[in-house]
A and B are shown apart, each in its own frame.
Chain A
Amino acid sequence: MRSPRRRRAVAGLLLAPLLTGCFASGGGTTDDASGDGSRLRVALAFPPAENLSPYGADATLLSRLGVTEGLTKLDANGVAAPALAESWTRENDRNWLFTLREATFQDGTELTPAAVAAALTRATEAEPVTAALSGTALTAKADGDRRVRVTTEEPDPALPLRLSSPGFAILSAKAYRAERVNPVGTATGPFEITEVTGTTGATLDRFDAYWDGRAQASGIDARFIADGSARTNALRTGQVDLAEAVPVSQAATLDKGTRRETATTRTTSLLLNTESGAFKDPKLRAAAREAVDGSVLAQDVYEGHADAGVGLFGPAVTWAAGKRVEPAGRAEAADPDGTSVTIATYDNRPELPEVAQVLQQQLREAGFEVKLEVREYSRLESDALAGKFDAFVGARNSLLDTGDPVSILASDFTCDGSYNLALLCDKKVDRAVAAAEKEADTAKRQQAAMNAEAAILATDAAVPLVHQRIITGVGDSVRGVILDPYERTLVGTGTRR
């Protein structure tokens, strides 16, 4: 548009404030191929929500990037394996003795029993309490110059599993000096955070003194890209080497070689409100369970990137299949006869609204009247926990928080459970879960967990729909990505490009 001089001046005046301070900082996407391993560029799905506090949702973010570690870690079979602790023994019901390995923090200080005890103590004092601790209390004290004694209030046979949680990350004393716990340069992992750019990105450098050998990549440039399509586009345009959690809708746009699938411990279930509403009646719950067909969901909604629901623990929980127990004493299905129900779900995981709509049709065919309620998760949770809906469709990673199969059953399905979306309060279930909680021996504990699963499934409070596989986009030149069914790690010492 042509304009007289005066107008041009006015336009300049108008635009002046807009020209300033616009761009995000570059987040060094340079190819640093100085013969010493190039930097990895990673696109993560969830931006830090709590200033990278290791006690909340950001904890897995830190462990995925290889920043923090705990005393233990989960191996492929879901058993606790040594990490910062070389070995451990159970002294008695409540006391455990962990022997530390020789390691240094990223700030150069030594991994000492005092530092570990202090770190664990801080984790127990976190506000709000870290999910890994759910329902237990523990104290940690240094014992000699190599060992730490951890004492639990109640007997906790799953303690080593619990300590594998990202919420029990061990940081050096420097991290705890301020009010906020600061993992920058104070963790023990192969990579060290050097810079965090708000919720946009983070820069990490290799930590050369890592106890398990030097990482092959010289550093990581992490970007947080919440939008699934944008994350996939970043990989497709070569702006990143790794993109986590590629949504199903975008998976088909990636080459087969770029698309890596991992069965995860994340199960999508239909949770029926057992406390109020139509599904208080076990016969209607049974009718709903019979009406629902998970294989359609796995094949069509998830386009084959999922397995049909077999139980609360899916194929990624490797030991579960052999120990599964058939639920006994289920109610007879009754005719719904037009009973009206409301299913709630959230759209943060884009597949869930589609799942809910398919469920709506399946239940409708069985004779239910179904209304859907789709919201953003944070606007839904409190209403769901208060029992305002008849049913809830949610995706839950059963081993993410504690790594212990029993503790998730306790928090999600017992009378005192803190995340009991089915509002289930059943004596048989409580007994079965309590029995499992007492087992110390791994095999026996796993069997007891499966018994409890059967008890829960028998109530029809939870209908497992699908077991999701996570799709990770991996650039052609990238090697050694860790595809972790527990979604706790992504980058390790062997990851390179």
Chain B
Amino acid sequence: MTAALVVAAATAAAVCARTLWLGAHRRLDDRRGGGSGAAMLAALPEFLTASVLAVVVGVHLGWLPALGWYGPQWTVLPALALGLPAGALLGRMLGDLLPGAFAEPWALAAAARGIPGRATARHAVRRCIPGLLPNLGLFVVGLTGGAVTVEQVFDIPGLGRTTLQVALAQDLPVLQAGTLALVLLAAGVGALARLAARLLIGTALRDGALHSLHRPVPPAPSRAPLLHGALLLTVVALGLARDPLALDTGARLQPPSWSHPLGTDALGRDLLARIGHGAFTTLALAVAISAAALLTGVLLGLLPRFSGPLVDTVNAVPAVLAGLLVAGVAGGGAATPALAVAAVAWVPLAAHTTALLEQERATTHITATKGLGADDAYLLRRELLPAVLPPVARHALLRLPGVALALTSLGFLGLGAQPPDPEWGLLLAENQPYAERAPWAVLAPAAALALLGALAVTAAGGVRWPRRPPAGAVRRPEPTAAPTVGETG
């Protein structure tokens, strides 16, 4: 797990390296960052990375053990599989906050005084970390409880897999023990994350001496979403013209060709057709759930006293366990998987909202606005929400592919999409065993999902959130050295 954290940290660092470097050298203008790459990486399903790593690095190259859990070198591959997407996600979130930090007066002053860029970058990261800590904590717990597929691929006796097994076997005492362990872990990690945030930023919070981290100007809309969207639309449109259910078992696992541009799956069905037809169900549901999760996340995130313990508890429950619970309460209806995923999807968003809100409340411009006689409602409407919503919304979009995958993970409980439905997650799951013999069968839906991730994130840059009126002039003056921030990429 530590190794996974290291990988995640390294990935996050790689994702933000460019922003950091540019920021440290005061050259952050509206150049495009590498955001879509990170979004694509964050959209990669863990089990896919895991099986590819196991087969390529473990079996073919023989560099590292392909399975088992006996010592340090066994941790490398699972850590990579777990850490890459999580690191990309954290990196994206950090990259979202960094430009704001670099735009703060202290950075300007530091540059003016000739303090080396390294030091500035270090302080910028430090300035942003508290906003991410809750999500880092969530990631740690998620690693323990939710890494079931990776544990399976690498045959690791993890708590997540054990809990799922006993849940399926309805072995109540062990299930209770497992869940309790997860809840305790979640509570412990949550407390630690809060403590760490206090240590990092506590005095400033108490004295209300922070500056707003949100970007000085809205990110410029870019052409990237158009490109991604057009590509995705083309694939879907081409696919829609074909039959996703036509079986031809004789044409099993055919590589891409003119008659099957993306190849065929294990039952000889055209993958292009399946991706095209699956797009609607996958997208509609994932978008609806993400929207619901965003709404719940922000609302609950605004009430940290109430939602804090709830976040810790719910986060300890992997989506699959939530699925079992929801199925137990609501029965196995069509809405069950959506409910189950929605029940857990709001957690990281709420944690993110709370963390950002806490910092925003402690900013000097809020104090100033208060001084000018603004009431709470005004503050919330005109100051706090506009500051908090954009990064959280981008975060929600970043998690959209993850929601689509979580829906699929309920499939084997008989809750999610059922074959032969061409839902994307199901396509991935169905073709995973053939990943080595027919890589196109998993690469095609994974690429579609990654494209969706990139589209979601880049499109967010093009969305203009309501701007504050000139009353916001109490805010710090717009820095001239780093006027615009290219975080749309």
Contact = CB atoms under 8 A, between A and B. Distances in A.
Contact of B121 (A2, A22, A379): A2
Given A24-B157, A237-B62, A379 B249 contact: no
A332 interface: no
A227 B152 contact: yes
Contacts of B169: 49, 378
A321 B68 CA distance: 44
Contacts of A234: 66-68, 155
Given A229-B51, A378-B168, A3 B419 contact: no
A198 B414 contact: no
Nearest to A249: B433
Contacts of A49: 169
B413 interface: yes
A236 interface: yes
Interface in A348-403: 350, 353-354, 356-358, 360-361, 371-376, 378-380
Given A200-B157, A230-B155, A354-B266, A237 B122 contact: no
Given A24-B70, A249-B266, A361-B247, A18 B140 contact: yes
Contact of A22 (B1, B55, B162): B1
Interface stretch (A5-13, A148-156, A466-474): A5-13
Given A15-B2, A23-B71, A198-B157, A347 B412 contact: yes
B67 to A, nearest CB: 5
B58 interface: yes
A44 to B, nearest CB: 12
Interface string B120-158: 011101100100000010001000000000001111110
Contacts of B165: 199
Given A296-B249, A376-B412, A228 B433 contact: yes
Given A24-B157, A230-B67, A237-B62, A18 B125 contact: no
Nearest to A296: B249
B414 A375 contact: yes
A225 B65 CA distance: 15
B67 A233 contact: yes
Contact of B155 (A227, A303, A354, A357): A227
Nearest to B70: A26
Interface in A14-49: 14-15, 17-19, 22-27, 49
Given A200-B157, A239-B68, A250-B433, A10 B200 contact: yes
A301 B140 CA distance: 40
Nearest to B121: A2
B122 A2 contact: yes
A13 B192 contact: yes
A149 to B, nearest CB: 39
Given A233-B66, A378-B169, A13 B118 contact: no
Contacts of B189: 14
Nearest to A355: B267
B249 A301 contact: yes
Contacts of B118: 2
A233 B58 contact: yes
A374 B419 contact: yes
A25 B465 CA distance: 54
Contacts of B55: 233
A1 interface: yes
Contacts of A360: 420
A226 interface: yes
B183 to A, nearest CB: 15
A357 to B, nearest CB: 5
B67 A350 contact: no
B95 to A, nearest CB: 12
A229 B419 contact: no
Interface string A294-305: 001001110100
B54 A233 contact: yes
B122 A357 contact: no
Nearest to A226: B152
B436 interface: yes
A353 B419 contact: yes
A340 interface: no
Contacts of A442: none
A229 B433 contact: yes
Report which residue of A23, A200, A373 has the largest number of chain B beta carbons within 10 angstroms of its beta carbon.
A23
Nearest to B246: A361
Contacts of B339: none
A247 B437 CA distance: 13
Contact of B129 (A7, A13, A18, A230): A7
A180 B96 CA distance: 57
B411 A374 contact: yes
A105 to B, nearest CB: 31
B372 interface: no
A229 B431 CA distance: 12
Nearest to B74: A23
A252 interface: yes
A128 interface: no
Contacts of B380: none
B420 A372 contact: yes
Nearest to A26: B70
Contact of B1 (A18, A353, A361): A18
Nearest to B9: A1
B414 A373 contact: yes
A3 B68 contact: no
A77 interface: no
Interface in A291-339: 296, 299-301, 303
Given A227-B155, A230-B54, A233-B55, A3 B125 contact: yes
A200 B245 CA distance: 40
Contacts of A375: 412-414
Contact of A230 (B71, B152, B437): B152
A480 to B, nearest CB: 26
B430 to A, nearest CB: 8
A23 to B, nearest CB: 6
A169 to B, nearest CB: 23
A354 B154 CA distance: 24
Contacts of B411: 374
B252 interface: yes
Interface string B228-254: 000000000000000001010110100
Contacts of B193: 14
A303 B266 CA distance: 10
Interface in A209-244: 223, 225-230, 233-234, 236-237, 239
Nearest to A11: B196
B418 interface: yes
Nearest to A233: B66
A22 B165 CA distance: 20
Contact of B196 (A13, A249, A378): A13
Contacts of A13: 192, 195-196
A225 B430 CA distance: 20
A367 to B, nearest CB: 16
B188 interface: yes
B398 interface: no
Interface string A250-283: 1011000000000000000000000000000000
A246 B278 CA distance: 31
Nearest to B94: A1
Contacts of A226: 152, 155
Given A225-B155, A373-B414, A247 B249 contact: no
Contacts of A247: 433
Given A18-B2, A300-B267, A374-B411, 10 more contacts: A10-B196, A13-B195, A19-B2, A22-B1, A23-B71, A237-B66, A239-B67, A301-B267, A373-B418, A376-B414
**Interchain residue pairs A-B with the least CB separation, the first 7:** A375-B414, A300-B249, A249-B433, A10-B196, A1-B13, A233-B66, A361-B247
24 contacts: A1-B9, A1-B13, A4-B123, A13-B195, A13-B196, A19-B2, A22-B75, A23-B71, A26-B70, A26-B71, A226-B155, A229-B153, A230-B54, A230-B66, A234-B67, A237-B58, A239-B66, A249-B433, A253-B436, A300-B267, A301-B267, A354-B267, A360-B420, A376-B413
